[in-house]
Homo-oligomer: A and B are copies of this chain.
Amino acid sequence: MHMKSQEVFLRFIDHLKETIKLSDLDVDFVLKKLEIKKLKRKEYLIQPGDVSRYMRFIVSGCMRSFYLDENSQEHTLQFGIENWWINDLHSYLSRQPSRMYVQSIEKTVLVQIHRDNLESLYLEVPEIARFFRLKIQSAYVALQERTIENLSTNSYERYSNFRTQFRDIEQRLPQYVIASYLGMRPEFLSALKKKHVLDFS
């Protein structure tokens, strides 16, 4: 899929307009701050040691962020497709080197805003500040739900709920990514699916 940069930016603006109101003037202010970033499949956007200086929005494709522990095991913190945001927010906010990987799963097109540009946008277009307040609120609540679920359910339930919650995304994620997101090993998820074929067909 090939997109003109104009189209990419407009998709981004549309996304903003789903949550906030923007005048044409506001839109001009925003457009001036945007950049496009393209990634092939399996390309790294952030690696440990990098400092994240951009807020990033997925226009097309699929990405994830994960932590690699001392036993070389991956733990997926986040994944995202079109119209989701993806970043290492800890690094972005603290300006410290990341301990995470952020990587594309498919060929991906991103819109990104540099931190300095976003800070000035907050002042020029206060609705943008409101946009991020609302977005981060929702993200926080969603992460709380995930935390509760991690604490209170077994593997079968977690995978079941995952499938209904992310019906449309599941097939775009490799199975080992799903396992690492749900906190189980890939071999176990494989065995789980076999044991419950009927439920999962």
Chain A residues with CB under 8 Å of chain B are: 67, 69, 73, 75, 77, 89-90, 93-94, 126, 129-130, 132-133, 136-141, 143-148, 150-153, 180, 183
Contact B67 A140 (CB under 8 A): no
Would you give the shortest CB distance from A7 to chain B, in whole angstroms? 30
Neighbouring B residues of A77 by C-beta, 8 Å: 144, 147-148, 151
Secondary structure type dominating chain A contacts: helix
CA separation between A189 and B90, bound complex, in Å?
30
Cβ contacts A to B, 5 pairs, < 8 Å: A75-B148, A75-B151, A77-B147, A89-B144, A143-B143
Contact B147 A143 (CB under 8 A): yes
Residue of B nearest to A150 (CB): B150
Interface centre among A77, A126, A136, A145 (most CB of B within 10 A): A136
B147 touches A93 (CB 8 A): no
